[in-house]
Chains A and B, each alone.
Chain A
């Protein structure tokens, strides 16, 4: 290979970055939203209000389930937390010989408020969809999606590492964001956002790969275990299954069990509990600590005899490597983060999204000057340009549309949750078509303006359609709506600013080559 280490790293950085850049942009953006998935869901179900009282919620949930499914195989109760006011219930009905398993979750799940009333809200997949999209994508089998995202993440890891090698003056350039200088500005924007949270990107990419490890790197387990289920049985030991005794014994009070578990965990909150064979002599209550109370994503559990309420010994999952893996996954998901750290996670994610986006733009900006005939670029160049517009302007615009359709579709429309999701991809696809028919500069400006307008419309449409909004929230202490409105306005301002810069930069940028040598610190061919 000609050239030195830096040149080859630059080549690798440029092309690995480009190949999966668009997918990574979407993954980064939705993953960033996922740090606030519960808040987004709450915003998307504005009917649900009130506060949660976890101990009362447990009593109510058990009472509800005793009435609804007294002889179920098992109950699962997710308790409310500071971020989610509702109690989610799910139960597995008693197995009947010869009858096929029921598949419809709707019949075996419920959402309650703390007082035990079922809550009715508009159908939506809320923030959960954005969270799932960031590794399961949509309109394709989950397995393929995770393979794709794994490969893209691997490229991302390489792009980050080669980016560091390529970038000679990494810290000097951090203080140099030169606006309105064409290619230099794009390079600066790419560098500043990259350096600003470099440890975060390395962490989030690496731990992201770890979350999908059993699929993308199954060989470490396969090397020792001919049967993967043996591995899981060893790592996550389970209590022996209890058989139904057919002797009805009422369930012991749950409250004292939760108190005992919480005391055992130094007062940490309870996140989740399950009851197997409720109402039977062999009932077991399993209590899991809230995920918010530790970085490790595998929260400890305690088990109790459901009939007597006495604690049972539970085989515990142990091991340094397992704990390390749990912490890595926990760092990725950030479920432990309180508000300050959560916003930091979010802002780092925004930085990462801009880093990927500006890197994609840089690819075209850098090549435009070198085109044999800049008026008639070759096919590959035009394709990249158009995909850039469609993704960088169109995909975020799609997420704004997701929020807007949540407010605008009729509350009881059939398949409304699905149509909210379709709106994201209609916008994305529509923007691609638009970018194909319009001259690229115009498509950029108009696409970014559209994104800005849609984000601006979110608080407005919200204020016109539901009683809760940011302004009212200032007085009633509805901080969720205040923060959501402000975030939408800030995003709209960001896109409007980008559109504005685009107008200016294109008009003033001289056609000559850049004065500085790009090879000095930037990826060359």
Chain B
């Protein structure tokens, strides 16, 4: 349960933040509007992820999914900022 809690709170926050940042960069609207929309959705993302993490049957598969999603999306975000730049 401690493992799942670590997955569901700090790791989940990191993944939710990355997902929010990616949404903010790629939602088809003005940057300021996209930033706000992504932020408003971020809590939903966090809550749903937390429940999925606890609902998953296999802890190992949960970590595998969580880890690859965090690394994968994190890489995408890094590429997006590196090549797209920020305002």
Contact = CB atoms under 8 A, between A and B. Distances in A.
Contacts of B21: 219-220, 222-223
Contacts, number: 120
B51 A162 contact: yes
A48 interface: no
Contacts of A5: 55
B51 A12 contact: yes
Contacts of B32: 224, 231, 234-235, 319, 321-322
A12 B77 CA distance: 30
Contacts of A154: 43, 46-47
A371 interface: no
Contact-residue size bin, chain A (C-beta under 8 Å from the other chain): 35 or more
Contacts of A471: none
Interface of chain B, main secondary structure: helix
Interface residues of B, number: 39
A133 B36 CA distance: 26
Contact of B20 (A8, A220, A227, A234): A220
B57 to A, nearest CB: 7
B48 to A, nearest CB: 8
Interface string A207-221: 001100100010111
B25, B47, B54, B86: most-surrounded residue (chain A CB, <10 A): B54
Given A157-B47, A220-B24, A223-B25, A230 B87 contact: yes
A437 interface: no
Contacts of A9: 51, 54-55
Contacts of B23: 220
Nearest to A320: B33
A226 B35 CA distance: 13
Interface of chain A, main secondary structure: helix
Interface in B8-56: 8, 17-18, 20-25, 29-40, 42-44, 46-47, 50-51, 54-56
Nearest to B30: A319
Contacts of B81: 223
B20 A12 contact: no
B1 interface: yes
Contact of B31 (A8, A161, A225): A225
Interface of B: 1, 4, 8, 17-18, 20-25, 29-40, 42-44, 46-47, 50-51, 54-57, 59, 77, 81, 86-87
6 closest Cβ pairs, A-B complex: A223-B21, A220-B39, A321-B36, A220-B38, A223-B24, A224-B31
Interface of A: 1, 5, 8-9, 11-12, 154, 157-158, 161-162, 165, 206, 209-210, 213, 217, 219-227, 230-231, 234-235, 319-322, 324-325, 328
25 contacts: A8-B55, A9-B51, A11-B54, A12-B54, A154-B46, A154-B47, A157-B46, A157-B47, A158-B47, A162-B54, A217-B17, A219-B42, A220-B35, A220-B38, A220-B39, A223-B77, A224-B86, A226-B86, A230-B87, A234-B32, A235-B32, A319-B32, A321-B32, A322-B33, A322-B36
